[in-house]
């Protein structure tokens, strides 16, 4: 009798346990065992034409392997500046909606808060609802207040520099208002480890974060926001010495070579041509031998930084494979904008501080005490075949490389030439996590997502997610663009005035050299109306600060 009673007791207990387990598993959008990990890797100011898999000349074997295992996107569009892209990336929405209407301009005007707004939900906050661990390392650049810190925006663990750039070897500041670069770990002030190199250290830190919770089997969202190859150009000699002499022919020759190598790689159309150089670029042949030597070294250092970045991406991938995590991890690699043309060492505002605290002598280039940028001349080669570079709403300022590989990518070694944007990443991650984007958050209404999931491309091989009626637009410091299908509305002229708007048909040419505003007046009026509708809906304010005036990257 006692044995029979115990038998019934254990059966009931087992049944209750099973029911509890079933209820618990159904209460989560995705069970931790099935939800994919997400690794988002962002390079800072990496140019479109750098990577080997895109036809570039820099050695990037780790990223090239990722490209073979996944998809390269040749028409991935960002914002023209770092912080603006990051706001759009982490929100899945337009920069004004996300609070970053102008980089580093902090105001009380909606759209220009200078930090993530309450009109959006940051990716890590929502992913936490699906049981994700959330980690970030590297560059934050989305607000300096304690309440803007990644620790308060959904990141469980973080080690970041709060500014738009930093010395790669020390906490020595690079901006006059921050003589010592501010770092935080998990929201608390942190010190930079003496002698550590940025990309190496951030990789170590991110791996340690993932490893700290690996045994609990919960999925993770890891955001590797590297500060490389952002200026100042600093890297150990072992990474740049292999490129010594490679760029002695100059930036104009490299630009032409990359035009052809990108064609050969299938990244750009075979009929693509080079636009006119920006007028501030000094012809290579007009430089003295000493000036040419120094210019070539700039590009060698930049290539060495990209080389080191690729090495560390390889370290992340190797770690995932060694720990059995790779098979269930979606890996997204992107850059945040076009190639960087700034050279603050000689600017009227930044120059005095930098010249007092750094050197630009040839003998010390690349070291901790050296401040070097590669300027508009090499940036033009980096954005080949597109017009101009970072800071502009031209294609050269807003087009960047993107590679997606790993879990849930069923297409391999493919090139997708359909138009996609940085705002498409958040919807992709949410669909993977089986999450619905809510209409309100923490008691406040939020704007709906402006992007679309990339999964139809990644899994089904579809050619596009945005049809010819989709509108993508952006304003920053008076420079504007609006894209609708093959048509692009553009203004890069100051002061801001609608009479300066231009119209381009990008199906004919990608170089934005032939303004067809007069030829297609009806199409121009159509896009102008789209612009007016968009600018009112997101709260664009004009006039804005004069283009590039006194603002940091």
Length, in residues, of the chain: 553
533 located within any domain: yes
CA–CA separation, 370 vs 362, rounded Å? 9
In this prediction, residue 22 carries a pLDDT of: 40
In this prediction, residue 543 carries a pLDDT of: 58
DSSP class of residue 85 equals: H
In this prediction, residue 27 carries a pLDDT of: 36
- The gap from C-alpha 2 to its chain's centroid, in whole angstroms, comes to 68
Alpha-carbon torsion angle 26, 27, 29, 31, nearest 10: -60
Taking alpha carbons only, the member of 354, 377, 389 closest to residue 286 is 377
CA–CA separation, 85 vs 95, rounded Å? 8
CA-to-CA separations, 437 to 88, 111, 407, 427, 449, in angstroms, rounded: 16, 21, 22, 8, 8
* DSSP, residue by residue, 312-349: HHHHHHHHHHHTT-GGGEEEEEEESSS-----GGGSTT
In this prediction, residue 314 carries a pLDDT of: 98
Q: Which two tokens stand for residue 9?
A: 């007791």
CA–CA separation, 100 vs 88, rounded Å? 8
Taking alpha carbons only, the member of 49, 111, 106, 104 closest to residue 82 is 104
93 — alpha (psi -120 to 50), left (phi > 0) or beta?
Answer: beta
Taking alpha carbons only, the member of 208, 447, 441, 445 closest to residue 316 is 208
CA–CA separation, 534 vs 512, rounded Å? 22
Q: Which two tokens stand for residue 438?
A: 């809510």
How many CA atoms, within 13 angstroms, populate the side-chain half-sphere of residue 536?
6
Which residue of the set 115, 141, 408, 466 is catalytic? 141
Long-range contacts of residues 547-550, Cβ cutoff 8 Å, at least 24 apart:
547/391, 547/477, 547/478, 547/479, 547/492, 547/494, 548/391, 548/477, 550/349
What is the reported pTM? 0.92
Please report, in tens digits, the pLDDT of each residue of the chain (553 residues total): 333 333 333 343 333 333 333 433 433 334 445 799 999 999 999 999 999 999 999 999 999 999 999 999 999 999 999 999 999 999 999 999 999 999 878 888 999 999 999 999 999 999 998 999 999 999 999 999 999 999 999 999 999 999 999 999 999 999 999 999 999 999 999 999 988 999 999 999 999 999 999 999 999 999 999 999 999 999 999 999 999 999 999 999 999 999 999 999 999 999 999 999 999 999 999 999 999 999 999 999 999 999 999 999 999 999 999 999 999 999 999 999 999 999 999 999 999 999 999 999 999 999 999 999 999 999 999 999 999 999 999 999 999 999 999 989 998 999 999 999 999 999 999 999 999 999 999 999 999 999 999 999 999 888 889 999 999 999 999 999 999 999 999 999 988 899 999 999 999 999 999 999 999 999 999 999 999 999 999 999 975 444 333 334 4
496 located within any domain: yes
21 located within any domain: no
Which residue of the set 82, 133, 168, 408 is catalytic? 82
Domain CATH number, residue 409: 3.40.720.10
DSSP class of residue 478 equals: T
Range of the domain at 140: 37-538
CA-to-CA separations, 138 to 190, 226, 233, 320, 327, in angstroms, rounded: 13, 5, 16, 19, 25
22 located within any domain: no
465 located within any domain: yes
CA–CA separation, 282 vs 273, rounded Å? 21
Tens-digit pLDDT profile for residues 346-369:
999 999 999 999 999 999 999 999
CB 15 within 8 A of CB 115: no
Is 96 noted as a catalytic residue in this protein? no
CA–CA separation, 476 vs 240, rounded Å? 35
CB 373 within 8 A of CB 354: no
Taking alpha carbons only, the member of 202, 256, 200, 198 closest to residue 224 is 202
CA–CA separation, 191 vs 182, rounded Å? 8
H/E run at residue 253 = helix 251-264
26 located within any domain: no
**Where does residue 276 rank: exposed (0-12), middle (13-18), buried (19+ CB within 10 A)?**
exposed
CA–CA separation, 320 vs 326, rounded Å? 5
Neighbours of 238 (CB within 10 A): 10
CA-to-CA separations, 48 to 253, 285, 392, in angstroms, rounded: 17, 25, 15
334 located within any domain: yes
Q: How many domains is the chain built from? A: 1
Is 82 noted as a catalytic residue in this protein? yes
47 located within any domain: yes
Give, in degrees to the nearest 5, the angle at Cα 315 between 381 and 244. Answer: 40
């Amino acid at each position: 009798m006692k044995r029979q009673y115990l038998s019934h007791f254990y059966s009931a207990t087992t049944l209750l346990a099973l029911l509890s387990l079933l209820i618990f598993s159904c209460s989560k959008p995705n069970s931790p065992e099935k939800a994919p990990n997400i690794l988002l890797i962002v390079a800072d100011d990496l140019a479109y034409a750098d990577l080997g898999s895109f036809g570039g000349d820099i050695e990037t074997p780790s990223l090239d392997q990722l490209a073979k295992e996944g998809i390269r996107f040749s028409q991935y569009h960002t914002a023209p500046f770092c912080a603006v892209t990051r706001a759009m990336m982490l929100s899945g929405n337009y920069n004004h909606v996300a609070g970053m209407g102008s980089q580093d301009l902090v105001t009380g005007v909606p759209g220009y808060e200078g930090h993530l707004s309450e009109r959006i939900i940051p990716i890590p906050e929502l992913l936490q609802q699906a049981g994700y661990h959330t980690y970030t390392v590297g560059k934050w650049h989305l607000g300096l207040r304690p309440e803007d810190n990644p620790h308060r925006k959904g990141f469980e663990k973080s080690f970041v520099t709060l500014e738009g750039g930093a010395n790669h070897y020390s906490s020595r500041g690079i901006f006059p208002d921050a003589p010592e670069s501010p770092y935080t770990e998990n929201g608390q002030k942190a010190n930079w480890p003496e002698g550590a190199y940025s990309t190496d250290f951030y990789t170590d830190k991110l791996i340690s974060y993932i490893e700290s919770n690996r045994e609990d089997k919960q999925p993770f969202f890891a955001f590797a926001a590297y500060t490389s190859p952002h200026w100042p150009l600093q890297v150990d000699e072992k990474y740049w010495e292999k490129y010594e002499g490679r760029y002695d022919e100059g930036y104009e020759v490299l630009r032409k070579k990359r035009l052809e190598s990108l064609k050969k790689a299938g990244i750009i159309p075979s009929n693509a041509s080079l636009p006119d150089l920006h007028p501030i670029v000094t012809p290579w042949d007009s430089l003295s031998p000493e000036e040419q030597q120094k210019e070539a070294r700039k590009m060698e250092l930049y290539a060495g930084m990209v080389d080191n970045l690729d090495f560390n991406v390889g370290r992340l991938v190797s770690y995932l494979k060694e720990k059995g995590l790779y098979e269930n991890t979606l890996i997204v690699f992107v850059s945040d904008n076009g190639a960087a043309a700034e050279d603050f060492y000689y600017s009227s505002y930044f120059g005095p501080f930098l010249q007092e605290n750094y050197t630009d002598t040839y003998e010390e280039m690349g070291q901790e005490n050296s401040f070097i940028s590669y300027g508009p001349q090499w940036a033009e080669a980096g954005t080949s075949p597109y017009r101009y570079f970072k800071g502009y709403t031209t294609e050269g300022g807003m087009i960047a490389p993107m590679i997606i590989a790993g879990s849930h990518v069923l297409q391999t070694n493919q090139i997708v030439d359909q138009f996609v944007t940085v705002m498409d990443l958040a919807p992709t991650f949410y669909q993977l996590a089986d999450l619905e984007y809510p209409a309100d958050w923490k008691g406040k209404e939020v704007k709906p997502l402006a992007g679309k999931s990339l999964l139809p491309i990644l899994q089904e091989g579809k050619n596009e997610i945005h049809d010819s009626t989709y509108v993508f637009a952006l304003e920053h410091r008076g420079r504007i663009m609006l894209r609708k299908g093959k048509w692009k509305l553009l203004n890069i002229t100051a002061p801001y005035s609608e009479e300066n708007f231009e119209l381009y048909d990008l199906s004919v040419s990608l170089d934005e050299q032939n303004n067809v505003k007069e030829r297609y007046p009806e199409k121009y009026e159509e896009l102008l109306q789209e612009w007016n509708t968009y600018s009112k809906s997101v709260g664009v304010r004009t006039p804005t600060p004069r283009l590039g005036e006194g603002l940091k990257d």
